[in-house]
């Protein structure tokens, strides 16, 4: 199970009833946070989540509305008696930017390791989550993230029994390892079915629509995408400021054949995103306006 | 009239229903903000106030809960089309710390000037407000602020007429200037009564109680003071962490003979400050538990 929480839905600046866009993913007891603008630590508490289990922090880019809450978040994690190291992934310069912000949070009881994303993107593994950072098109280097949970094929009990291999070796085959036993070699494919459908969440803010986003989001169960503007008349603003309208996000969702689209990163001037959804759903029916604290648990398909 | 708004009342970390301690003063169209932790720009909007008119920003010290909201606040001011320079006052190193935080807010349409406070304290004048920065006793260099509005004596019309000085020179005398006219010298005291009672607000967070605080807060109409702990059993925690209990703050208010005390900078563990007020008022009857967005307009005494 992969738990997703959209902590906030605002772009540019936090508002009294709209936290800045940030997303928390939780798998097997480890949390991954994408972006942390001003107030994200409060949004997390409002959503009933804790910062304590965040092992991985991914930043899309370094505009203040995506990273200004980091010093407070790190101190909140320190106050929760966290001692394990955390890992911060972001565009080039991430160590320098985080270092500057740590001027006001210098003493932390845990280590931080940094990983910079190459211009063309990068892949990471974190506690069972496969993270793909993909380049998007904003006015500064900016990345989206696709997080996948792979699922191995089904174990074929009958085939295992038929091999004549003792039970204590079956687990190795299940883990994908090869076993040598009494002169014979046993490979995983002898007992494992084809890889089954896993889970996938794609996240993209601060970009114009691109083919790269469609490729990276391909087949996601959930696609969280910026929709800065709902009003069709703001299409030119979206182009000029390197953002997207609701309709552009819906076209990406349709082309990437995702299960569900959540819109987020609303302009401070946008009130009532729901009023535009009828038109948005003509493009992509499974589109929903994101709301602060919106949650979903993605489950593996039943066999 | 001096308008005061206590924007938040939390210490250490912002909570879902408690902003970090910050105070906005407004006099003659110019605003002065003391501290700006994470979320202060949102607290300001909730209180119906705008960042646009902030000409002076004073920082008590550089712990994150007092300054982490600065990048967002500066961008909010930029978005409000502010072009006039702002002035930032704080302990030594203020320019370096603000410079580091501006890594994520590099482009602003206004200039910032910096003024560092000497170890023993300093005095500043800002748009009719006399600011006294006074040293307090915390685990890093930290200052309280006393803001006073002076009020000249009453103009004595009869005395002015009796001088035989033409009317066009009266205004100069009212402003405190000396006038030479037809061989005679006229001084302000000839037409002005004794200086009248002005207005004064004192603000102190993050300190143990000190005599210096009592001196600086002396005679304030309103004294906003930290009360980290209400539970008397936390007295040792307060000493160790260089903070104050409600009762220690009340003793300072009593000794400084202030008009009214507002408690603030509550520990995140403190719930329901009101429950301790009966005991606090035995020490100082005009004590009130601060609340987010609490406002007061201080008026000059009638003649």
Q: Does A100 touch chain B (CB under 8 A)?
A: yes
A63 and B97 within 8 Å at the Cβ level: the answer is no
Chain A residues in contact with B46 by the CB 8 A cut-off are 16
Residue B134 lies in a domain: yes
Strand partners, A196: A151
Chain A residues in contact with B71 by the CB 8 A cut-off are 38, 64, 68
Q: Which residues contact B259 (CB under 8 A, 6 or more apart)?
A: B220, B221, B222, B223, B286
In this structure, the answer to whether residues B203 and B189 fall within a common structural domain is no
Categorize the per-residue pLDDT at A61 as very low, low, confident or very high, splitting at 50, 70 and 90: very high
Residue A230 lies in a domain: yes
Residue B67 lies in a domain: yes
Categorize the per-residue pLDDT at A302 as very low, low, confident or very high, splitting at 50, 70 and 90: confident
In this structure, the answer to whether residues B107 and B234 fall within a common structural domain is yes
Checking DSSP bridges between strand A2-8 and strand A294-298, what pairing results, if any?
A: antiparallel
Sheet holding B30-34, edge to edge: B112-116, B86-90, B54-58, B30-34, B22-27, B2-8, B294-298
The SS3 call for residue A213 is helix
In this structure, the answer to whether residues B73 and B180 fall within a common structural domain is no
Interface contacts (A, B; CB < 8 Å): 99
pLDDT over 70 (residue A216): yes
Instruction: Return the CATH number at A53.
Output: 3.60.15.10
Nearest to B90 by CA among B67, B111, B69, B115: B115
Position B303 scores a pLDDT of 55
Tell me how far apart the alpha carbons of residues A116 and A91 are, in angstroms, rounded to a whole number. Answer: 5
- Cβ atoms within 10 Å of B174's Cβ, excluding its own: 15
Q: Which of residues 60-99 of A touch B (CB under 8 A)?
A: 62-65, 67-69, 71-72, 75-76, 79, 96-97
Q: Which of A100, A101, A104 sits opposite B62 (nearest CB)?
A: A104
In this structure, the answer to whether residues B35 and B162 fall within a common structural domain is no
Nearest to B60 by CA among B90, B31, B37: B90
In this structure, the answer to whether residues B163 and B136 fall within a common structural domain is no
B75 and A64 within 8 Å at the Cβ level: the answer is yes
Tell me how far apart the alpha carbons of residues B50 and B31 are, in angstroms, rounded to a whole number. Answer: 9
Position A169 scores a pLDDT of 92
pLDDT in tens, chain B (303 residues): 999 999 999 999 999 999 999 999 999 999 999 999 999 999 999 999 999 999 999 999 999 999 999 999 999 999 998 999 999 999 999 999 999 999 999 999 999 999 999 999 999 999 999 999 999 999 999 999 999 999 988 889 899 899 888 999 999 998 889 999 999 999 999 999 988 999 999 999 999 999 999 999 999 999 999 999 999 999 999 999 999 999 999 999 999 999 999 999 999 999 999 999 999 999 999 999 999 999 999 999 875
Tell me how far apart the alpha carbons of residues B282 and B287 are, in angstroms, rounded to a whole number. Answer: 10
Position A263 scores a pLDDT of 98
Strand partners, A224: A203, A262
In this structure, the answer to whether residues B128 and B166 fall within a common structural domain is no
| Chain A: closest CA distance from residue B193 (Å) | 48
- Taking only the tens place, the pLDDT of each residue in A102-154 is 999 999 999 999 999 999 999 999 999 999 999 999 999 999 999 999 998 88
Reduced 3-state DSSP string for chain B: CEEEEEEECECCCCECCECECEEEEEECCEEEEECCCCCHHHHHHHCCCCCCCEEEEECCCCCHHHHCCHHHHHHHHHHCCCCCCEEEEECCCHHHHHHHHHHHCCCCCCCEEEEECCCCCEEEEECCEEEEEEECECCCCCEEEEEEEEECCCECHHHHHHHCCCHHHHHHHHCCCCEEECCEEECHHHCECCCEEEEEEEEECCCECCHHHHHHHCCCCEEEEECCECCHHHHHHHHHCCCCEHHHHHHHHHHCCCCEEEEECECCCCCCHHHHHHHHHHHCCCEEECCCCEEEEECCCCC
Q: Which residues contact B283 (CB under 8 A, 6 or more apart)?
A: B247, B250, B251, B254
B42 and A14 within 8 Å at the Cβ level: the answer is yes
B38 and A104 within 8 Å at the Cβ level: the answer is no
Give the length of chain A: 303
In this structure, the answer to whether residues B213 and B260 fall within a common structural domain is yes
Given a contact cutoff of 8 angstroms between Cβ atoms, the answer to whether B213 and B138 are in contact is no
In this structure, the answer to whether residues B146 and B245 fall within a common structural domain is yes
- Taking only the tens place, the pLDDT of each residue in A261-275 is 999 999 999 999 999
Residue B172 lies in a domain: yes
pLDDT over 80 (residue A187): yes
Residue A179 lies in a domain: no
Given a contact cutoff of 8 angstroms between Cβ atoms, the answer to whether A12 and A261 are in contact is no
In this structure, the answer to whether residues B105 and B242 fall within a common structural domain is yes
Residue A245 lies in a domain: yes
Given a contact cutoff of 8 angstroms between Cβ atoms, the answer to whether A32 and A56 are in contact is yes
pLDDT over 60 (residue A303): no
Burial B247-261 (b: 16+ CB within 10 A, else e): bbbbbbbbbbebebb
- Taking only the tens place, the pLDDT of each residue in A64-103 is 999 999 999 999 999 998 999 999 999 999 999 999 999 9
Given a contact cutoff of 8 angstroms between Cβ atoms, the answer to whether A107 and B140 are in contact is no
pLDDT over 70 (residue A244): yes
Given a contact cutoff of 8 angstroms between Cβ atoms, the answer to whether B169 and B189 are in contact is no
In this structure, the answer to whether residues B116 and B190 fall within a common structural domain is no
Burial B146-162 (b: 16+ CB within 10 A, else e): bbbbeeeeeeeeeebee
Structural domain span for residue B160: 153-194
- Taking only the tens place, the pLDDT of each residue in A156-165 is 989 989 988 8
What long-range pairs does B49-53 form, CB within 8 A, spacing at least 24? Answer: B49/B5, B49/B7, B49/B24, B50/B80, B51/B76, B51/B77, B51/B80, B51/B82, B52/B77, B52/B80, B52/B81, B52/B82, B53/B26, B53/B29
Residue B303 lies in a domain: no
Tell me how far apart the alpha carbons of residues A6 and A295 are, in angstroms, rounded to a whole number. Answer: 6
Report how many domains make up chain A: 1
The residues of B annotated as belonging to the active site are 65
Q: What ipTM, to 2 d.p.?
A: 0.91
A38 and B105 within 8 Å at the Cβ level: the answer is no
Chain A residues in contact with B96 by the CB 8 A cut-off are 103
Helix (H) or strand (E) holding A163: helix A157-163
DSSP letter for A167, please.
Answer: G
Tell me how far apart the alpha carbons of residues B247 and B229 are, in angstroms, rounded to a whole number. Answer: 9
Residue B185 lies in a domain: yes
DSSP letter for A90, please.
Answer: E
A101 and B101 within 8 Å at the Cβ level: the answer is yes
Q: Is A65 a catalytic residue?
A: yes
Q: Which of A38, A46, A96 sits opposite B38 (nearest CB)?
A: A38
The SS3 call for residue A252 is helix
Tell me how far apart the alpha carbons of residues A223 and A262 are, in angstroms, rounded to a whole number. Answer: 6
Q: C-alpha angle with apex B163: B161 to B165, nearest 5 degrees?
A: 80
The SS3 call for residue A278 is helix
Tell me how far apart the alpha carbons of residues A274 and A280 are, in angstroms, rounded to a whole number. Answer: 10
DSSP letter for A155, please.
Answer: B
Higher pLDDT pick, A195 / A205: A205
In this structure, the answer to whether residues B290 and B238 fall within a common structural domain is yes
In this structure, the answer to whether residues B136 and B190 fall within a common structural domain is no
Residue among A65, A206, A221, A292 flagged as catalytic: A65
């Amino acid at each position: 199970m992969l738990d997703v929480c959209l902590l906030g839905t605002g772009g540019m600046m936090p508002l009294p009833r709209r936290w800045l866009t940030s997303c928390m993913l939780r798998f097997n007891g480890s949390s991954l946070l994408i972006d942390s603008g001003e107030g994200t630590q409060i949004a997390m508490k409002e959503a009933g989540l804790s910062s304590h289990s965040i092992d991985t922090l991914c930043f899309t880019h370094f505009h203040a509305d995506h990273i200004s809450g980091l010093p407070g978040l790190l101190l909140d994690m320190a106050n929760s008696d966290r001692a394990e190291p955390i890992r911060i992934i972001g565009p080039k310069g991430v160590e320098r930017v985080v270092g500057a912000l740590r001027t006001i949070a210098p003493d932390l009881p845990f280590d931080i390791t940094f990983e910079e994303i190459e211009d063309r993107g990068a892949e990471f593994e974190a506690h069972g989550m496969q993270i793909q950072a993909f380049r998007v098109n904003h006015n500064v280097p900016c990345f989206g993230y696709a997080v996948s949970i792979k699922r191995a094929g089904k174990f074929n009990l009958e085939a295992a029994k038929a091999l004549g291999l003792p039970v204590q070796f079956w687990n190795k085959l299940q883990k994908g390892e090869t076993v040598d036993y009494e002169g014979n070699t046993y490979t995983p494919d002898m007992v494992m079915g084809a890889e089954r459908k896993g889970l996938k969440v794609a996240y993209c803010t601060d970009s114009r629509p691109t083919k790269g986003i469609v490729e990276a989001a391909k087949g996601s169960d959930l696609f969280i995408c910026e929709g800065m503007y709902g009003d069709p008349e703001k299409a030119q603003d979206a182009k000029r400021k390197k953002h997207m309208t609701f309709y552009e996000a819906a076209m990406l969702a349709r082309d990437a054949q995702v299960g569900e689209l959540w819109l987020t990163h609303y302009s401070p001037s946008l009130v009532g995103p729901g009023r535009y959804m009828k038109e948005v759903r003509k493009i992509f029916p499974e589109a929903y306006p994101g709301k602060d604290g919106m949650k979903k648990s993605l489950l593996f398909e039943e066999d």
